[in-house]
Amino acid sequence: MKISLNNAISLDGKISTVERKKIRLSSQNDRELMSQYRLQADAVLVGRGTLEIDDSPILIYYPKPGQESKPPLNVVVSRSLNFQPEKLKFFQESSTKKLVFTSIHTPQERVAHVQQYAQVMQIEESKKGVLNPLQIIDELRKLGVNSLLLEGGGTLNASFLEEGLVDEIHLTLCPLIVGGGKAPTFFDGEGLSAEQLQHFTLTSMEEGAPGEFFFTYQKDTSP
C-alpha cells in the first residue's frame, strides 16, 4: 500500500493554534491541489482532533473538468470514540462511506452509538498508547485500499512515521507564524531518536499564492 501524507503548515511548523481552533493557513491553490491528492487515494484518514476541528466530510471539492468526483473512503481514528457523531457534519454526508477505528477497550455503548453513523472496527493499541498503525493498514488492505492519504493531525502523522509507513509527503508551507509551544505541529508524539531519523528526497517544488510553496518529498530508500 502506498501511504502519502498531506498537510499545510505555518512557517514554524504549526497546523493549528494552541486553542486547537480551525484556521485557514493556505490559499485556494492549496485546496485545489488537495482535491487532486484525494482523487489519487482510495481512502483518506484523519485523527479525532482533526475531525472535530475541521468538521467537514472528505470530498473532492475541486475536480478538474472531466474528472470523476467520487469521494474516497472517509476514515477516522479515535481511541475512545469521545465525540458526538450526530453533531458533526462529517457523519451527516450521505455521499461518503465512513469507517472509524477505535480501541478494543472502548465501551460497547459508545461503539454501538457511532455504528449508527459509520462502520466501526475495534483494534489493538500500540505500546505507545495509540491505535496500531500496522493493524489499521492490514484492515484497510482487506477492504481493497491500495493507496492511503493521511491528513493529520500531528499524533496520527507521528504514529505512522514512527513505524516507517510514510512513503510520500505533500507539504504546503504558508507565510504566517502561529507560535506557541503547545500548539499542534505537523508531527507530534514522542519524537524520533537520533538513530531513528528518516530521510526524504525533495521531488517537486511549486509556488502557489504569494509566499506559499508546495513541496513533495519521497522516502529515501537508499542504504
Spatial separation of the C-alpha atoms in residues 60 and 24, rounded to whole Å: 18
Decide: helix, strand or coil at residue 61: coil
Burial class (CB in 10 A: 0-12, 13-18, 19+), 114: buried
Q: With contact defined as beta carbons under 8 Å apart, do 90 and 57 qualify?
A: yes
165-202 pLDDT, tens digit each: 999 999 999 999 999 989 999 999 888 888 889 999 99
Domains contained in the chain, CATH given: 2-219 (3.40.430.10)
Q: Cell numbers for 69, please give them.
A: 468526483
Please, what sign has the CA dihedral across residues 155, 203, 24, 89?
A: negative
SS (H, E, C) 147-213: EEEECCCHHHHHHHHHCCCCCEEEEEECCCCCCCCCCCECCCCCCCCHHHCCCEEEEEEEECCCCCE
13-65 pLDDT, tens digit each: 999 998 888 778 888 999 999 999 999 999 999 999 999 988 999 999 999 99
Q: Tell me: pLDDT of 223 over 70.
A: no
Q: State the average pLDDT over residues 193-217.
A: 94
pTM, 2 dp: 0.94
DSSP assignment of 92-113 equals H-TT--EEEEEETTS-HHHHHH
The predicted pLDDT at position 128 comes to: 80
